[in-house]
A and B are shown apart, each in its own frame.
Chain A
């Protein structure tokens, strides 16, 4: 039992790490990784929603009728997103402003709905918790990595601390929309190369 829980947790960190192995949830990945703090903040918010919705869906899995399960999952997820939205507004207002529209959009992040449908609705509470936590942390790691690359190249800084001094000419392309697409595409290619059997 204990072993499977650990397995559920660790698969999110490498074997099924979103958004590279599970190509889902690309929109927030592209949008919030301009800077490292945004990436980490978004990762933590998504992890919170994932864990809570996984646990609640798992508790309710025998109560929810099969035909309307997607609608029920969406309501559960939307509730927790509202919780995150209000919490961030209260305790992390600058981050709330920076992420803007992408906090409510966690509702339609396919990763969250995907885990509720594919895992939590079929498994007990503890594995669902481990699954949510693992996938969430994996997502946070990916966002942070991508944001680190983009912020260092595009802004010459890491976590808003300047790295190269004033003479550095930032490669602003990287923090614009095209840079996001290309950077994610290349990283996906690298991950495919590393994970090749």
Chain B
């Protein structure tokens, strides 16, 4: 059990997918202008990533490994993620319309979110077991959401500040993300 707690903490804080491993920067810049969109994106990523992480693990273990098709991993994973996103979208629209209304526009964007494919690949690369993969997918996604929400909060304040014209928008956003990442670096001493 202790191992799992350690895994969760290290995935959320120490190896934060966004601020420490640089994955998923595009949606990070795109969706953090408002708190609502950041929250929606965070929820959608957690939802999809937990499913994608476990399904890609099974695909890798049951289909690719026994037949020696490991070189097709990139192709197989992206297909799994793309079809999963499509499927989740259809399922939510039919059965849980309220959740669909909340996540709606963020779902298609997830296909090209490198944090999702990245986590699936990290799971395989670190040779996690299925439960470990499940935990790591969830905590990487939670770390992504945490960074997104923290950053959206900061960004709503930046809009009120006077920023030099060339640095407006994305440029100052990146510099701020740097500061936030510096704060997360302090977690390195934790474990």
| Chain A positions near chain B (C-beta within 8 angstroms) | 23-27, 30-31, 70-71, 74-75, 78-79, 81-82, 85-86, 100-101, 104-105, 107-110, 113, 176-182, 184-186, 188-190, 192-193, 196
Contacts and interface: CB of A to CB of B under 8 A. Distances in A.
B77 to A, nearest CB: 8
Return the 8 tightest CB-CB contacts between A and B, nearest first: A185-B174, A181-B178, A182-B178, A185-B175, A192-B166, A26-B25, A193-B166, A188-B171
A116 B177 CA distance: 30
Contacts of A31: 21-23
Interface of B: 19-26, 29, 71-75, 77-79, 82, 111-114, 117-118, 121-122, 125, 164-168, 170-179, 181-182, 185
B26 A71 contact: no
Contact of A105 (B117, B170, B175, B185): B117
Contacts of A108: 78, 111-114, 117
Contacts of A179: 178
Contacts of A193: 166
A107 to B, nearest CB: 5
Nearest to A177: B181
Contacts of A109: 114
B185 A181 contact: no
